[in-house]
Amino acid sequence: MKTALFGGTFDPPHNGHLALCLYARALAGVDRLIVSVSKNPFKGPSDASDADRLAMAALLVDEINAAGQFAETSDWELRQPGPSYTIDFLRNVEALCPGDDLVLLVGEDSYCQMPQWKSASEIPKLCDIAVFGRSGGELAAASCGDPLPPAMLFDFDMPVSATEIRRLIAACMPITHLVPPSIAEYIASHRLYRC
């Protein structure tokens, strides 16, 4: 079985995340997807609580599964002390799913940061890496400066930013064109990202 791992802060999840997951299912031949909510050491504290981010990630998974059961949510990284590290999550999934072919799904920006990740040289030994970005990730590979691990590169240009979504909400601007309806409703009903 080919199992894909897609981690993020999901603060909030948005249409770019949804499209990437559906794209991976269609083009990368993935059988199963684990959406993992993380505590990213490269980012500051999340604006939404861990519980809210996990709930919104579960709504994202529901949207992904509308086309057939495929994805699940993981809170494993949230339950670990301190920040999340991809290498630890990969080792955990490998232990839980022996024999699965693991594929790590990352955006172009994350791929460029990968040389700074904890135990970065070990990651390609545990999984294949699928990079989704402008120019299929070649832009990141050319501009990063650090040697990057081998990866499958997919052309994927959907410029949606969680930072921009939070800014729009704080300014009382609409976000319904940027997030799935269920997540927009959750954000509104829980009054997230407001001043």
Mean pLDDT of the region 27-47: 85
The full DSSP string for 94-138 is HHHSTTPEEEEEEEHHHHHHGGGSTTGGGHHHH-EEEEEEGGGGH
Quick: pLDDT tens for 43-100. Answer: 767 789 999 999 999 999 999 999 889 999 999 999 999 888 999 999 999 999 999 9
Domain boundaries, the chain: 2-159
Annotation: CATH topology of 2-159: Rossmann fold (3.40.50)
pLDDT, the chain, mean: 90
What's the pTM? 0.92
User: Is residue 134 over pLDDT 80?
Assistant: no
